[in-house]
Amino acid sequence: MYKIISRKEYAMLIRDRRFHILATIVTILLIVSMWAGFSAYKIIRNETDFISKESRSHWIKQGSKNPHEAAHYGSFVFRPKSELSFLDFGVTSYIGNSIYLEGHNHNEPKFSQAQESSGLIRFGDFTVAFIFYTLLPLFIIFMCFNSFTIEKEEKTLKLMLSQGIGLDVIAWGKIEGFSKCLAWVFLPCLLISFGLVIIGTPGGVSFNTFMRLFLNTIVFGGYFFVFICLSVLVSIWSKSSRNALLILLGVWVMMCIIIPKLSANLGGFIFKAPKNFEFTESIRKEVLEGIDGHHSADVRLNKLKQTILAEYNVDSLSQLPINFDAIVMQEAEKHSSQVYKKYFDSLEKIYQKQNYISDIFSLIDPFITVRNFSMSLAGTDYKTALEFQRQAEQYRYNMVEKLQNHMRDYSKTGDWEIKVNENFFAKIPEFKFKKFSINDTITQNWLSIISLFVWIQLCIRFISNLKNFKMNDL
Amino acid sequence: MLKTKHLTKKYGERFALVGLSLDIEPGEIFALLGQNGAGKSTTINCFLGFVKPTSGQVYVNGLSVVDHALETKKYLAYIPENVMLYSNLTGVENLEFFSALAGFNYTKKELGKMLFKVGLQISANDQWVSTYSKGMRQKVGIAIAIAKNAKALLLDEPTSGLDPKASNEFSNILNELAKNDTAILMATHDIFRAKEIAGRIGIMKEGSLVSEIKSSDITTNELEKVYLQTV
């Protein structure tokens, strides 16, 4: 029975000029943002590929030199753009794209797009995802706010009800009709983005990427469903179209602007993250308190010396078959890495707590749910950025360790003449960022999934309960 | 077919209906006369289940409307005073939609026939209702009611806005329906029309039925006199 209503709603909306104009505007915005996002993605991807290769060849062709010097020479690694990043830039625009990896130092990611480009990016990322989670709800509201109020005002609802049909059936019909109209905007965009993903992934689209796009569709579909139901419900409960529109616009401002902003600020307010300077400064201080390879007067250096001498059963460093300087430097590296890891972990915990606040708000605001989930699926969220930093640090540590160990094993203490060549540098594998699997992403977002599910369930409940709803002012 | 027993409806302190008892048999046309606010529309809304009685019972085809809100609507067709339709659907599409809701799937040809029967010019069938006059919309409303094949028809000032010819055609349609055993309740201001088509005429005042007259027992002039005295 609801099919009849759905067909009618669809036929009416498709003929409605209001729908034509809004759909055209949204479609143009989507196409522009997709085009802009994709070209930016391609440029950055090509640049990153090119510079990564160049950086790698610089590393290999740095010439024969002392291993420790090579560790100082270091190399650059770049956070690869994920295939879906053009749909949702997430936080990546504000986080550095590359890290300089060298011995002794734990460098922060540098060169974010926000640093590099003009004011446009500060204006906010005008991505497909942004249009989906911010503007499409508005589009839905404008389509649906008077879905029932106009029928009350025009008395067609009374005629419809007099034909012996329940209010819930009418509501379901309307929801389906609106969804079909929305599909005219949503589905072409989805198809185009799927095409772009195929074009933008030279090696062929992986199952992981495909699943992400698929989940994205479901998540946004659910989000739109919630907004359609909400608009229809408000329209049923409202006395006039004007009231319905005012209430829905109020809901939109709360959900899409105020609560997200509030939750982010509240998270940062309750769980304060150290400022960048404080963070690096406290790491520097704690590292200094440990062994420092360049200052042999240190007490702990002596202790290490005694241990090593005892191990090899010799009296002086010159009798050692290995290079003691390299051992000291590696010990220092180990120590500073531990300190760094400790601080990094604590920082991550703070961010996690901040995100918990946001997650809690996502239970009352599906906007936050979908925004976070979309970022996560696009691989442009904060977790992915932190994971990149962690993997880069791990890679740095392994690289430096290999160099120091070579120096330790193939030279004697005080010998700074030992050299390694191209063959050795090439043996250190290239950095490859291992992305989160789809399972990881789902596990990280369990609360979002539950929250969206609860919202959808609530909507279904409310609409189905309209069966018993008494219309008083017909 | 259409029956009320001591039907009372109170809005706050004001009585819209006071102990109204009606009984309209299949094939009978009953006209309710009365001023605005006399309770004619409230009576119709009680039959439709849109107004919940404060006390008393409403029955359609022997079923209580309060207990069987959806089922009783199957036996009813309703034409409001001012039929409002979906303005960017055509006349045929509107008729198709509403009869589909009632569970009837007519072909385009059958729908066209029905619109022809109620006197809508054929050229208007496929035009958007936004181009229709009030009378034309009213005709589509009548077609919607006919298409439902209902056992009882509820009319709220159905001929207001119809030209005399259309109004006359409408009377003929009602007579035809009554011959096929449809019970018809018509609220109206039109004393002449009431006398002409109704078998019985009830005059309402402040929510009660103050007099009930067989139309064959009275002339139009006498009816007018009674009406003016009562209200």
Q: What is the pLDDT of residue A226?
A: 96
Question: Mind giving me the DSSP string for A167-232?
Answer: HHHHHHHHHHHHHHHHHHHHHHHHHHHHHHHHHH-TT---HHHHHHHHHHHHHHHHHHHHHHHHHH
Side-chain half-sphere CA neighbours of A322 within 13 A: 17
Q: Helix, strand or coil for residue B199?
A: coil
Chain B CB contacts of A160 below 8 Å:
98, 101
A18 touching B (Cβ < 8 Å)? no
> Which residues 280-319 of chain A have a CB within 8 Å of chain B?
none
Q: What is the pLDDT of residue A112?
A: 67
Query: Are A253 and A259 in contact, with CB atoms under 8 Å apart?
Result: no
8 Å CB contact of A164 and B74: yes
A180 touching B (Cβ < 8 Å)? no
Give the span between the Cα atoms of A372 and A442, in whole angstroms: 12
Q: What is the pLDDT of residue A382?
A: 84
Helices of type H across chain B: 40-48, 69-73, 91-101, 108-117, 134-147, 164-179, 191-197, 220-230
8 Å CB contact of B101 and A474: no
8 Å CB contact of A164 and B45: no
Q: What is the pLDDT of residue A113?
A: 63
Chain A contact probe: residue of B63, B73, B86 with most A CBs at under 10 A: B86
Q: What is the pLDDT of residue A116?
A: 57
Query: Are A226 and A252 in contact, with CB atoms under 8 Å apart?
Result: no
User: How far, CA to CA in Å, does A279 sit from each of A108, A266, A284, A334, A342?
Assistant: 11, 21, 9, 19, 11
Give the span between the Cα atoms of A219 and A212, in whole angstroms: 10
CATH T-level topology, domain B1-75+152-231:
Rossmann fold (3.40.50)
Listed by start position, the domains of chain A span 2-468
User: A394 CB contacts (<8 Å, ≥6 apart)?
Assistant: none
Q: What is the pLDDT of residue B16?
A: 92
Provide the residue type at B61 as one letter.
N
For chain B, the maximum distance between any two Cα atoms, rounded to a whole number of angstroms, is: 52
A143 touching B (Cβ < 8 Å)? no
8 Å CB contact of B50 and A1: no
SS3 content of chain A, % helix, strand, coil (to 5): 75, 0, 25
Give the span between the Cα atoms of A71 and A396, in whole angstroms: 9
Work out the mean pLDDT of chain B and round it to a whole number.
91
Give the Cβ contact number of residue A43 at 10 Å: 11
Chain B CB contacts of A471 below 8 Å:
50
A5, A158, A163 ranked by CB distance to B80: nearest: A158
pLDDT over 90 (residue B25): yes
8 Å CB contact of A159 and B78: yes
Provide the residue type at B56 as one letter.
G
User: How would you label B83-119 residue by residue, b for 16+ Cβ within 10 Å and e otherwise?
Assistant: bbbbbbbbbbbbbbbbbbbbeeebeeeebbebbebbb
Chain B CB contacts of A156 below 8 Å:
84-86
| Chain B: residues touching A (Cβ < 8 Å) | 45, 48, 50, 52, 70-71, 73-74, 76-78, 80, 82-86, 88-89, 93, 97-98, 100-103, 141, 144, 148
- DSSP state for residue A273 in the 8-state scheme: P
A16 touching B (Cβ < 8 Å)? yes
A229 touching B (Cβ < 8 Å)? no
The length of chain B, given as a count of residues: 231
8 Å CB contact of A163 and B73: yes
A154 touching B (Cβ < 8 Å)? yes
Q: What is the pLDDT of residue A238?
A: 93
A154, A158, A166 ranked by CB distance to B50: nearest: A158
Dihedral angle at the C-alpha atoms of A263, A268, A270, A271, nearest 10 degrees?
A: 130
- DSSP state for residue A104 in the 8-state scheme: S
A8, A162, A474 ranked by CB distance to B73: nearest: A162
pLDDT over 50 (residue B100): yes
Residues forming beta bridges with residue B213, ordered by sequence position: B201
Query: Are B16 and B197 in contact, with CB atoms under 8 Å apart?
Result: no
Q: Helix, strand or coil for residue A1?
A: coil
A301: region left, alpha or beta (phi > 0 left; psi from -120 to 50 alpha): alpha
Alpha-carbon torsion (A124, A128, A132, A136), positive or negative: positive
Which chain B residue has the Cα nearest residue A154?
B84
Q: What is the pLDDT of residue A471?
A: 65
Q: What is the pLDDT of residue A297?
A: 46
Q: Which residue has the higher pLDDT, B3 or A345?
A: B3
Q: Helix, strand or coil for residue A86?
A: coil
Listed by start position, the domains of chain B span 1-75+152-231, 83-149
8 Å CB contact of B84 and A161: no
Q: What is the pLDDT of residue A119?
A: 47
Q: Which residue has the higher pLDDT, A329 or B185?
A: B185
8 Å CB contact of B101 and A5: yes
Side-chain half-sphere CA neighbours of A366 within 13 A: 27
Q: What is the pLDDT of residue A149?
A: 94
A with B: how many residue pairs have Cβ under 8 Å apart?
65
Nearest CA to A169 among A365, A8, A28?
A8
Quote the minimal CA–CA distance from B101 to chain A in Å: 6
Chain B CB contacts of A5 below 8 Å:
101
Q: What is the pLDDT of residue A56?
A: 82
Q: pLDDT for B186-209, tens place per residue?
A: 999 888 889 989 999 999 999 999
8 Å CB contact of A474 and B50: yes
Chain A CB contacts of B77 below 8 Å:
162
| Strand B208-214 versus strand B200-205 pairing type | antiparallel
Q: What is the mean pLDDT of residues B59-84?
A: 91
- pLDDT truncated to tens, each residue of chain A (474 aa)? 889 999 999 999 999 998 999 999 999 999 988 888 888 888 888 888 888 888 888 877 777 787 777 777 778 888 888 888 888 888 877 777 788 887 777 777 777 665 555 444 444 578 899 999 999 999 999 999 999 999 999 889 999 999 988 899 999 999 999 999 999 999 999 899 889 988 888 777 888 888 999 999 999 999 999 999 999 999 999 999 999 999 999 999 999 999 988 888 888 888 887 777 787 777 777 777 654 544 444 667 777 777 777 777 878 777 777 777 777 778 778 778 888 888 888 888 888 888 888 888 888 899 999 998 999 999 888 888 888 888 888 888 888 888 878 777 777 777 777 777 777 777 788 888 888 888 998 988 888 899 999 999 999 999 999 987 776 655
8 Å CB contact of B97 and A8: yes
8 Å CB contact of B101 and A165: yes
Residues forming beta bridges with residue B29, ordered by sequence position: B184
